[in-house]
Amino acid sequence: MDDLPIRLAEDLDGAFPELVEGLQSELYSGLRSLAGGDAEDLAQETFIRAYRALSSYDTARVRNLSLRGWIWTIALNLGRNHLRDRARRPTVANELFDVGRDDPEPIDWMAWEARLQKLSLPIRKAVVLRHVVGLDYPEISSVTGRPVGTVKADVHRGLQRLRTIMEDEE
């Protein structure tokens, strides 16, 4: 991934599938924790917008991109109109893909999605980006537009709140 921005600048079409492969797992998982069932649609739309943006940027800008933070900025800015755009595109014949069912589920996703939904949106974003996605604090600060100190406090408060929620369940 380290030299991917350089390769994207040199050969966007050749290198873009690598960007998708490198980031799809964290993007999908993070969006699923934030937005639930729309995660695949949102992740797809994020990558397509990223591709269009990269096509329009000059090479110096592409070379200097910090890809993970940049992708998450796009993802968190998506509006609801992406569903309308989707009808205008070809889509895989779904019967060819056994969507997500091969994965074992060691963790009760539904329960965790429900717990995360109990956090306010800024706090949920901070917790998910830090602990599900694995961004560092400066990256989260840049993606959410909140100061690093605030993000740290949000994550701390979020984790405490989750502990309380779990204790209440017992």
Partner 1 sequence: MNIEETLAGLRRGAPASLKANVELGTGLADGVSIFESPVGELAVTFNPHGVSSVSLAALDFEDYFADRFGRRLIEARPPSGWEKLINRGIEAGNPGQLPLDLRGVTAFRREIMLIATTIPRGEVRPYQWLARQAGRPGAARAVGSAMANNPIPLIVPCHRVVRSDGSLGAYSLGGADNKRVLLAREGFVSTEG
x-marked contacts with partner 1 along 25-64 as a string, rule CB under 8 A: xxxxxx-xx------x--xx--xx--xx------------
Alpha carbon separation from 131 to 32, 66, 145, 152 (Å, rounded): 13, 19, 18, 12
* Nearer to partner 1 (CB atom), residue 65 or residue 71: 71
For residue 133, the surrounding DSSP H or E stretch is none
Task: Give the interface segment with partner 1, choosing from 1-9, 71-79, 95-103, 146-154 (CB under 8 A).
Answer: 95-103
CB-count burial class (<10 Å; 0-12, 13-18, 19+) for 130: buried
Q: How far is CA 11 from the centre of its chain?
A: 24
* Nearer to partner 1 (CB atom), residue 80 or residue 89: 89
Least gap, CB of 148 to partner 1 (angstroms):
19
Using the rule CB under 8 A, is 103 a contact of partner 1?
yes
In three-state secondary structure terms, 3 is coil
Q: In this structure, are residues 133 and 72 in contact, taking their beta carbons and an 8 Å threshold?
A: yes
- Which residues contact partner 1 (rule: CB under 8 A)? 13, 16-17, 20-21, 24-30, 32-33, 40, 43-44, 47-48, 51-52, 86-94, 96-100, 103, 106-107, 109, 112, 127-128, 131-134, 159, 162-163, 166
